[in-house]
Amino acid sequence: MKQHAAMTEERWSRFDLDRQVLMIANEMNRTTRLLADADPQPRRRGYERILRLTDLTIALAPRRTFRREMLRWRDLIAALYMADTAQPDQHRSAFRVLLLSRPVAAQQIPLLLR
């Protein structure tokens, strides 16, 4: 997981919460394309990146209620990471929930989840 391994809390904190959620959503979108791949490793690496960014967001969450919701959402992604096979319907549902977590991100639903 090279892409976000060097991301620090300090650097991540420079992005506002909307931007953080959109960046996690970007990784979800990339991972969507990997669900059809027969090799599970690219999909798992995608979920690792998502989990890394989610952990940073949780660590810096300004509101306890948002942190609690992100922890619940993280559990969904962890289950997808652990699954032996791709779970496209669950992935799509988790993606939608993430986008609904912030009004700015929710505007992307018509573009990303067709």
1 found inside a domain: no
2 found inside a domain: no
- The end-to-end CA distance of the chain, in Å, is 29
Mean pLDDT value of segment 66-78: 97
pLDDT at 13: 92
How far is it, in rounded angstroms, from Cα 64 to Cα 46?
27
Average pLDDT, the chain: 92
pLDDT at 111: 84
pLDDT at 110: 87
96 found inside a domain: yes
How far is it, in rounded angstroms, from Cα 101 to Cα 52?
18
pLDDT at 4: 58
- pTM of this structure: 0.91
Domain total of the chain: 1
**How much of the chain, in percent, has pLDDT values that exceed 70?**
94
For residue 53, the enclosing domain spans 9-112
The residue count of the chain comes to: 114
